[in-house]
Amino acid sequence: MMTLRLGRWCFAVLVACVAGTLGVEAAPGKASAKIDRMVLSRLDELGIPPSDLCTDEVFLRRVYLDLIGTLPTAEEAAAFLKSNATNKRSDLIDALFERPEFADYWSLKWCDLLRVKAEFPSKLWPNAVQAYHRWVRQALVNNTPYDDFARALLTSSGSNFRVAPVNFYRAMPEREPDTTARVVALTFMGARTDGWPAEKARNLAAFFGHVNYKGTAEWKEEIVFHDPVKEYLDPETEQPVPAILPDGTAVELDPNEDPRVVFADWLVGSRVFADNIVNRVWFWLLGRGVVHEPDDLRADNPPSNAPLLAFLSEELVRNEYDLRHVYRIILNSKTYQRASIHNEGNLSDEVNFSRYYPRRLGAEVLIDAICQITKTTESYSSEIPEPFTFIPENQRSIKLSDGSITSPFLDLYGRPPRDTGYESERNNTPSAAQKLHLLNSTHIQTKIASNKQLLGMTTKKQKNKKKPVAGWLEPADAIENMYLTILSRYPTAKETNVAIAYVRDGGLGRYDASVDLVWALLNTKEFIFKH
């Protein structure tokens, strides 16, 4: 089994060799440039002209939403737009990694994929949900190398409350090795075992045939452990199923060894392991995978740009599985920073990244943005178990750990139910019902009306008077503040004129007219989409 133990080494060596022939791209800037060359080369082949680079105001809003799932504040927007620093885009990218929202937002993503939910069909129970979410978040804060992250999830043993990554084996609808194998392949290989020969899936399941579970004296505590005695038998032949790795290598399992470790050793050294995660990161940031769907990697679903996928994987391995490096080289590329506005030749391109593809804001990001703008909060509670748990009012929605917490708004906007771990569970397709809610619900109207400052109201203390005097900002100033707060940019002269005319001639009082202005900006495509 020599080759097995050398799995990671093999791929690492391969990467080193390839790097040797192609020239090492050490600096992130160079790697970003290489991404651009690869994308442009493909576009060139196809005769598709790329869009121009986006403006600073577009970049600012985009990178905030993509990287930390959070809208810039008016102050942040103004400061960035004013800055003359030469590297202000890459400096901003670096700064955003350090924000707590970075870890919040990507924990949300990971918890979608890991099906983190207190009840049905995964039944983690709230304590374990908290522990698991905290563990994932801490890994993101620490920037734990991705291979270590995966290895911890795959090989841990212990209590669901105390050794949080064991919950990987609990966040599944069933606990048969077949289900585990399906989930492992989907999560770490982007592979759907439904399309595999049954034999191949079963041979993978053999690596999880000794995973066992037992309760403790503590309510809902559960120990996940390697059970050498447990057997995984073929349902037809009733013989032990041979352990064969997805690449076809048969493994003689040592009864004293946890086969999960054997599998994890192979996995983290495999090409598919790197391909899967870099392709997902690309998908998360650009809205479409190099292989698409991003969790459907297979020979007959080729990447739209094979050299690009290979390069991203090599960069990951060369940089010790540092995911932030992959994020960084993508975000600093011109490819990521292209305008979403199409030119005459690239409207129909939806797969080669000749422009940035606009996407509707995700459910949690959207409601957080609305709450930030209107200085309001959302109420969330969990019915599991009784007595109900209430989430602190000022907590952002991207920080919700538990998929069992229900919310009509989040449901309406396509938050994933965390049933399967498929990326497609999150549905960002706009619907008429969503539009109805944003246009005309009491929920949104109440929020808009509650931020008096945003509407342009002022209070001034006056000498010799106890009560401050209420007043209004100059309409143009109020409108500028609305634009910076909601759309993270200054209004154009035309927009200012339209807005002023609405305030002056709309036949409404200043208050109602201001409510309508905020309402209109919240309903523009510019607000609802990342672009």
Smallest separation (angstroms) from other proteins to the CB of 274: 24
Q: How far is the CB of 235 from other proteins (least distance, A)?
A: 13
Helix axes 28-46, 323-331, angle to 10 degrees: 60
Residue matched to tokens 């399941």: 205
Strand ranges for 211-316 from DSSP E: 211-215, 222-226, 243-244, 250-251
Specify the residue, 10 or 341, whose C-beta has the smaller distance to other proteins.
341
Q: How far is the CB of 77 from other proteins (least distance, A)?
A: 16
As measured in angstroms, the least distance from the Cβ of 503 to other proteins is 11
Please name the residue ranges forming H helices in 332-398: 363-374
Q: Please tell me the distance from the alpha carbon of residue 295 to that of residue 280, in angstroms, as a whole number.
A: 8
Strand bridging mode 250-251 / 359-360: unpaired
Shortest reach from residue 92's CB to other proteins, in Å:
21
User: Min. distance of Cβ 486 from other proteins in angstroms?
Assistant: 11
The nearest distance, CB 9 to other proteins, in angstroms, is: 35
CB 94 within 8 A of CB 522: no
Q: How far is the CB of 177 from other proteins (least distance, A)?
A: 15
280 vs 328, beta carbon nearer other proteins: 280
Phi, psi torsion values for 336, nearest 5 degrees: -65, -35
Cβ closest to other proteins, residue 90 vs residue 377: 377
- The two tokens of residue 16 are 């080193």
329/410 with CB nearer other proteins? 410
Residue 11 or 169 with smaller CB distance to other proteins: 169
Q: How far apart are CB 164 and other proteins at their closest, in Å?
A: 22
C-beta of 181: minimal distance to other proteins in Å? 14
Q: How far apart are CA 60 and CA 324, in angstroms?
A: 19
Smallest distance from other proteins to CB 353, Å: 16
> Is the Cβ of residue 165 or residue 190 nearer to other proteins in the bound state?
190
Closer residue to other proteins, CB minimum distance, 408 or 471: 408
Tell me the DSSP string of 257-285.
S-HHHHHHHHHHHSHHHHHHHHHHHHHHH
CB 129 within 8 Å of CB 402? yes
**Which of residues 332 and 401 has its CB atom nearest to other proteins in the complex?**
401
Nearer to other proteins, 88 or 443 (CB): 443
Residue type, 332: N
Own/partner contacts of 91-96, CB < 8 Å, gap of 24 or more, are: 92/60, 92/63, 93/63, 93/67, 93/328, 93/331, 93/332, 94/328, 96/63, 96/64, 96/67, 96/68
CA angle, residues 312, 420, 213, in degrees to nearest 5: 105
Q: How far apart are alpha carbons 379 and 328 in whole angstroms?
A: 35
Q: Which is nearer to other proteins, 76 or 419 (CB)?
A: 419
Report in angstroms how near the CB of residue 407 gets to other proteins at its nearest: 9
CA distances 348 to 50, 336, 354, 356, 475, Å, are: 12, 18, 10, 13, 41
Long-range contacts of 424-431, Cβ-Cβ distance < 8 Å, separation of 24 or more: 424/293, 424/295, 425/112, 426/112, 426/362, 428/359, 428/360, 428/361, 428/362, 429/360, 430/360, 430/528
The C-alpha angle with vertex 165 and arms to 163 and 170, in degrees rounded to 5, equals 100
Type of residue at 401 = S
Q: How far is the CB of 517 from other proteins (least distance, A)?
A: 7
* Range 443-446, long-range pairs (CB < 8 A, 24+ positions): 443/409, 444/370, 444/519, 444/522, 445/515, 445/519, 446/376
Cβ distance to other proteins smaller for residue 18 or 412: 412
**Based on CB atoms, which residue is closest to other proteins, 282 or 502?**
502
Rank residues 149 and 283 by Cβ distance to other proteins and give the closer one.
283
Peptide bond into 387 cis (omega under 30): yes
Can you tell me the distance from the alpha carbon of 215 to that of 242, in angstroms, rounded to the nearest whole number? 29
Cα dihedral 441, 446, 449, 452 sign:
negative
Binding site for other proteins (CB under 8 A): 119-121, 173-174, 192, 194, 340-342, 347, 350, 358-360, 383-384, 386, 404, 406, 408, 411-412, 414, 417, 419-420, 422, 424-425, 427, 429-437, 439-443, 445, 492, 494-495, 498-499, 502, 506-508, 512, 516-517, 519-521, 523-526, 528-529, 531
Specify whether the CB–CB gap between 296 and 192 falls below 8 A: yes
Q: For the CB of residue 39, give the shortest distance to other proteins in the complex, in Å.
A: 20
Of residues 242 and 430, the one with the C-beta less far from other proteins: 430
Phi then psi dihedrals of residue 394, to 5 deg: -90, 10
